[in-house]
Chains A and B, each alone.
Chain A
Amino acid sequence: MENILQQVGIDNYIYLSTLLFCVGIFGVLYRRNAIVMFMSIEIMLNAVNLLLVAFSTYHQDAAGQVFVFFSMAVAAAEVAVGLAILVAVYRNHNGIDIDNLKKLKG
């Protein structure tokens, strides 16, 4: 594993994670379907997990991999709450398009 990391280089892992992270950000900013937005947020969080694991190997330190478990657990809890909100929105609006939500303005 260490060997592979040396051959590829830690920089390339950072670039890959940043790229994935940006894909997630643009997904949240440009897509209007709530489910797709949730998926984009998951992409952002998983890009970070990838980065943490790469750094963990780079530093020869297990703490980074343990942190990934925390962040996966948190992401699961977050998405569970998000989907519950989504179901409530669907029942009231008959759709999950974010543009339907514009009752609050001022």
Chain B
Amino acid sequence: MDILIAVAILGILSLIAEIFNLRKAIVPVTVIGLIAVLGHAVYKAMYGTTLLNWELDESQYFNMVQSTKYGLAFSSLFILLTIFLVTLSADFHKNHQPKISDFVAIKLFLLTGAIAMVTFGNMAMFFLGIEILSISLYVLAASEPKNVKSNEAGMKYFLMGAFASGILLFGIALIYGATGTFDIPTIMSLNNANLPSWYTIGSVLIAIGLLFKIAAVPFHFWAPDVYEGSPALTTATMSTLAKVAAMASFFKLITSLNPHLPGFLTTINIVAVLSMIVGNLIALRQINVKRMLAFSGIAHAGYMMLAFQFLDYTNAQANLFYYAAAYALAGIAAFAVVLSVCGNKGNEEIYNFNGLGKTNPLLAGILTCALLSMAGIPIFSGFFAKFFLFDQVLDKGRLILVIFAVISSIISVGYYFKLILAMYTKESTEEVQPVPVAYTTVAVASIALNIIIGLVPSFVMSLVR
């Protein structure tokens, strides 16, 4: 609860700073504030208390928010990602300097929504969280009103998102009808064998609504268009923060609702396998980097859904968290490079990256590391994340899932290497452009964190366990 309030206050402060003409201070102050909140969240996740022994009594807020280790760990990850995204936004919105406070404030409110989505203790909080996240993203996706592509992306995302929210809300209403409460602990304590059939229908509708949000096959068709059309920084937000948040809350919700439906897990598994295969196969023939990363994100949603085998084990939560952290950090690093290479070119085709290995070896190296981490090549945390996840699926005796997952990660190496080869084997056609310091800093920091969590997986997992 305290984290949620602190982040919301930071968002309001950055709106107020606009009134007092303190635009230059917005980004640094926000980043410092977020680092403080991050320290607080990590400390709370590790030791269970706060540094100053100052805590809000959550029962006074009708258990709207539950600060479980799972929720706190994911909140810390979201705050870290937002720090990177806010740092990037100062240079990205250079041409819209007067609007910088809006962009930063919307990102902070988006973070509020994401935190509410993983720490909710009540359906109302969950619904508000997912809507705050989505509405902020609609605004960000359409935030270049003169750009036809951004219009189209915003409109498509809005229609799909609102449609999915409607389905989700219908599911919540049916679950309320079956149980008579919105409180998650109460719902968990009910024996759901005796509940009316609306309960199962409601759970399925909620699952469909969330599958839309995480863009899993067959509900993925909006993702490539929206990712391609949105401004690049918004694409980075969607493919890291929003995807991980939706995935974490999907896991938490399915674990708490625990629908005893024959074939529910099988359906989830089929969706996971389809997402991996379809995402990776279609990504092979993309020439736009943002679109390629969109399909790669669909495939990664599939991998993350493998964690759903073990609905009630803390190991599954730890594995999901580790995978999410590895994927999101690699994604931020990749997008920081994409921003600095394609920043003012108006398109993100692969040929923009030709010869980057010679003109800017540092950025090329970082992008290579990020892509190798996503593909699951050792020493990067992406490999260990996949390893732990597949290991647990094997423990459950579901060999066939692991076979599909490994085959699709081999396919994925194909398109990641297409980009890497373009950087190192082709000649550059354009003159070198200066890269803003913020982009390089963020790229280096996130790829360094990615490698570090690959070296100490036990620390990252102990945040959740």
With A55-B173, A92-B151: A106-B131 Cβ-Cβ less than 8 Å: no
Q: Which residues of A contact B131 (CB under 8 A)?
A: 74, 77-78
Distance in angstroms from A46 CB to nearest chain B CB is 10
With A63-B181, A70-B128: A89-B151 Cβ-Cβ less than 8 Å: yes
Most buried by A among B138, B149, B173, B286: B173
A19 contacts partner chain B, Cβ-Cβ < 8 Å: no
Candidates A10, A59, A64, A88; contact of B151 at CB < 8 Å: A88
A1 contacts partner chain B, Cβ-Cβ < 8 Å: no
B180 x A51 contact (CB < 8 A) = no
Q: Which residues of A contact B152 (CB under 8 A)?
A: 89, 101-104
Q: Which residues of B contact A71 (CB under 8 A)?
A: 127, 169
Which residues of chain A from 52 to 75 have a CB within 8 Å of any chain B CB?
A: 52, 55, 58-59, 61, 63-64, 66-67, 70-71, 74
A77 x B163 contact (CB < 8 A) = no
With A41-B163, A70-B124: A85-B180 Cβ-Cβ less than 8 Å: no
A101 x B169 contact (CB < 8 A) = no
Most buried by B among A25, A58, A59, A74: A74
Which residues of chain B from 418 to 465 have a CB within 8 Å of any chain A CB?
A: none
B166 x A44 contact (CB < 8 A) = yes
Distance in angstroms from A93 CB to nearest chain B CB is 8
Distance in angstroms from A25 CB to nearest chain B CB is 8
Distance in angstroms from A4 CB to nearest chain B CB is 17
Q: Which residues of A contact B170 (CB under 8 A)?
A: 21, 44, 47-48, 51
With A44-B166, A58-B177, A67-B124: A101-B138 Cβ-Cβ less than 8 Å: no
A86 contacts partner chain B, Cβ-Cβ < 8 Å: yes
Give A86 to B167 CA distance when docked, in angstroms. Answer: 22
Candidates B155, B163, B228; contact of A106 at CB < 8 Å: B228
B311 contacts partner chain A, Cβ-Cβ < 8 Å: no
Per-position binary interface string of chain A over residues 84-97, scored 1 when its CB falls under 8 Å from any chain B CB and 0 otherwise: 11101101110000
A82 x B162 contact (CB < 8 A) = yes
A51 x B142 contact (CB < 8 A) = no
B169 x A104 contact (CB < 8 A) = no
A8 contacts partner chain B, Cβ-Cβ < 8 Å: no
With A67-B182, A74-B127: A85-B151 Cβ-Cβ less than 8 Å: yes
Q: Which residues of A contact B149 (CB under 8 A)?
A: 103-104
Size category of the A interface is: 35 or more
Q: Which residues of A contact B142 (CB under 8 A)?
A: 84-85, 88
Q: Which residues of B contact A91 (CB under 8 A)?
A: 145
B177 x A85 contact (CB < 8 A) = no
Q: Which residues of A contact B134 (CB under 8 A)?
A: 78
A16 contacts partner chain B, Cβ-Cβ < 8 Å: no
Most buried by B among A10, A41, A98, A102: A41
A55 x B176 contact (CB < 8 A) = yes
Q: Which residues of B contact A106 (CB under 8 A)?
A: 224, 228, 286, 288, 291
Q: Which residues of A contact B167 (CB under 8 A)?
A: 44
Most buried by B among A17, A41, A88: A88
Distance in angstroms from A12 CB to nearest chain B CB is 13
Q: Which residues of A contact B225 (CB under 8 A)?
A: 104-105
Chain A, Cβ-Cβ closest to B178 = A55
B159 x A37 contact (CB < 8 A) = yes
Distance in angstroms from A73 CB to nearest chain B CB is 9
Candidates B148, B286, B291; contact of A103 at CB < 8 Å: B148
A5 contacts partner chain B, Cβ-Cβ < 8 Å: no
Give A89 to B139 CA distance when docked, in angstroms. Answer: 13
Per-position binary interface string of chain B over residues 110-139, scored 1 when its CB falls under 8 Å from any chain A CB and 0 otherwise: 000000000000011001100100110011
B303 contacts partner chain A, Cβ-Cβ < 8 Å: no
What would 11 A/B residue contacts be, using CB atoms closer than 8 Å? A45-B169, A51-B174, A58-B177, A59-B177, A78-B158, A84-B142, A85-B158, A86-B155, A88-B142, A104-B224, A105-B225
Known A78-B162, A85-B158, A93-B151; further 11 A-B contacts with Cβ < 8 A: A24-B166, A25-B163, A41-B163, A55-B173, A70-B124, A71-B127, A78-B138, A85-B138, A85-B151, A104-B149, A104-B228
Top 9 nearest A-B pairs (CB, nearest first) are: A44-B166, A55-B177, A59-B180, A88-B145, A104-B225, A101-B152, A51-B173, A74-B131, A85-B154
Chain B residues at the A interface, C-beta cutoff of 8 Å: 123-124, 127-128, 131, 134-135, 138-139, 142, 145-146, 148-149, 151-156, 158-159, 162-163, 165-167, 169-170, 172-174, 176-177, 180-182, 198, 224-225, 228-229, 286, 288, 291
Chain A residues at the B interface, C-beta cutoff of 8 Å: 10, 14, 17, 21, 24-25, 28, 34, 37, 41, 44-45, 47-48, 51-52, 55, 58-59, 61, 63-64, 66-67, 70-71, 74, 77-78, 81-82, 84-86, 88-89, 91-93, 98, 101-106
